[in-house]
Structure 1
């Protein structure tokens, strides 16, 4: 996220967060961080005797719903688009705010395919797992403590999942989100732009930030209308219990070096260093 907006003057000490109703994506699977891709590659497990038929489907942390749909289609050897079309008859137990969109509630986990697997069965298992994780303590209590409902907490967690490179950074990214919301600043998260454009990239152009989309957090205030990915446990924990701090900006200058600050001038210096490194190297770092 390129956070170009200087801070506004604090509006008193009230705790109410004004929210709407409503980048790099890190996919953590089997202990490894896998770069997000536009097309899902299902992570399948076969039995110990070498039967080529998959027995389980692994949904990594941070996959978007579209990636999950593609993975289910591949796992079940179905025509592309079958799983997405099955949403209408799956009768998923989603919160009212989701308006039928399961983004954020396709919980990252390993799902056994079992006998006679169908897209409806797998999607139901994912959403039921999410409800089990999200609606009980401490998630529900943590959301309420931060003046959020659970759906808003999941939305914040999805941004954290997409933006943070490490578990330690997740709490800090969450704090930046809260600090910006409390100050009436746009979030300016590249991950929301990527979601709107259906891509995963480390660089966002000025033209990208002008797109007409409810997910354009450079132009729109508050949270995006839905989660932008399916967050895991660490991201959810960060969303309900962010690290204390006054940060408003962050930039990953190089891998392993993400800098958080409340000072706009310092952030601009960090961005300049990022740009210098980006010009002299191929890939690697990202501006946030």
Structure 2
């Protein structure tokens, strides 16, 4: 099952400190989702890999808050913090060791999945360590409470595994309704001993966001290659939000093993491979037709 993301977007203008000007919010912009199909496999969409930073007055004022949308990878969050605090690139990533983040043992110091998407205030005393700590503390409050812990246990998971599934769901599904179904596909494939075959995990391994996954890509030597490796990837592949987490612990009942987004708003789930092939063919026709349409200038 392939999962692809839109092309990598360009970075926006860098925000700078201005202690005299008005202070405004800074936001990571979010793009739409798109889906692809490869032969005999599902391809669905995910959030664009590189967010843009913009401000209300073209970057001349200092932001008062940083908004982290759902589905951002940790590397993107580090870049966003550097941008918001006007720090040299790489500063936030280097600060991890000093942050002493309260991560689960399974994470082995990797905060992927635990940099919770939310709005975080920025002040004169804001530092990368403080922002990362706030994100992880928020994730722990959301993830370690009784409802999530009980939901994970009900599905024979620990919380870290549930967060990992939620990160895949976040990358795969375009709507809240689809999230529950995508989660069910993950569970059904795991229970049947089928590889997940998600392009989102390969894109994560290759640190990219692309529309095309080649046969060569599916043979890379990586624990995140869900074509070659069974089970879940070793860590989450992004930082999921609350809806994706709820889907991971409360998957929609169903026997689905395949899904494909034929066109925006039309994602089809099935347990029948022949039906899936027909859906794939329809997607191919839709995509080919769209590619022939004249491009607007």
TM-score normalised by L of structure 1: 0.84
Q: CA–CA distance in 1 between the matches of 2:55 and 2:103?
A: 26
The aligned counterpart of 2:52 is 41
SS at match of 1:140: helix
SS at match of 1:56: strand
Alpha-carbon shift at residue 51 of structure 1 (Å): 8.2
Q: Which moved more, 1:155-164 or 1:114-123?
A: 114-123
CA offset digits 1:167-186 (Å, max 9, x no partner): 10000000000000000000
Of the candidates 256, 264, 268, which is equivalent to residue 259 of structure 1?
268
CA offset digits 1:121-173 (Å, max 9, x no partner): 00000000000000002111100000000000000000000000111000000
Q: 1:173 to 1:266 in 2, by over 3 A?
A: same
- Does structure 2 retain, via aligned residues, the 8 Å contact 1:39–1:70? no
Of the candidates 193, 204, 211, which is equivalent to residue 195 of structure 1?
204
1:277 matched to 2:286: yes
Of the candidates 49, 60, 68, which is equivalent to residue 59 of structure 1?
68
SS at match of 2:63: coil
CA offset digits 1:206-243 (Å, max 9, x no partner): 22211111111011000001000000010000000000
- Does structure 2 retain, via aligned residues, the 8 Å contact 1:42–1:72? no
SS at match of 2:281: helix
Q: CA–CA distance in 2 between the matches of 1:64 and 1:210?
A: 23
Alpha-carbon shift at residue 107 of structure 1 (Å): 0.2
1:130 matched to 2:111: no
Give unpaired runs (5+ residues) of structure 2. 7-25, 33-46, 293-297
The aligned counterpart of 1:228 is 237
Of the candidates 106, 112, 116, which is equivalent to residue 103 of structure 1?
112
State the Cα RMSD in Å: 2.3
Of the candidates 128, 147, 168, which is equivalent to residue 119 of structure 1?
128
The aligned counterpart of 1:71 is 80
SS at match of 1:282: helix
The aligned counterpart of 1:180 is 189
Alpha-carbon shift at residue 281 of structure 1 (Å): 1.8
The aligned counterpart of 1:161 is 170
Alpha-carbon shift at residue 205 of structure 1 (Å): 2.1
SS at match of 2:115: coil
- Does structure 1 retain, via aligned residues, the 8 Å contact 2:5–2:49? no
- Does structure 1 retain, via aligned residues, the 8 Å contact 2:2–2:200? no
Alpha-carbon shift at residue 45 of structure 1 (Å): 8.0
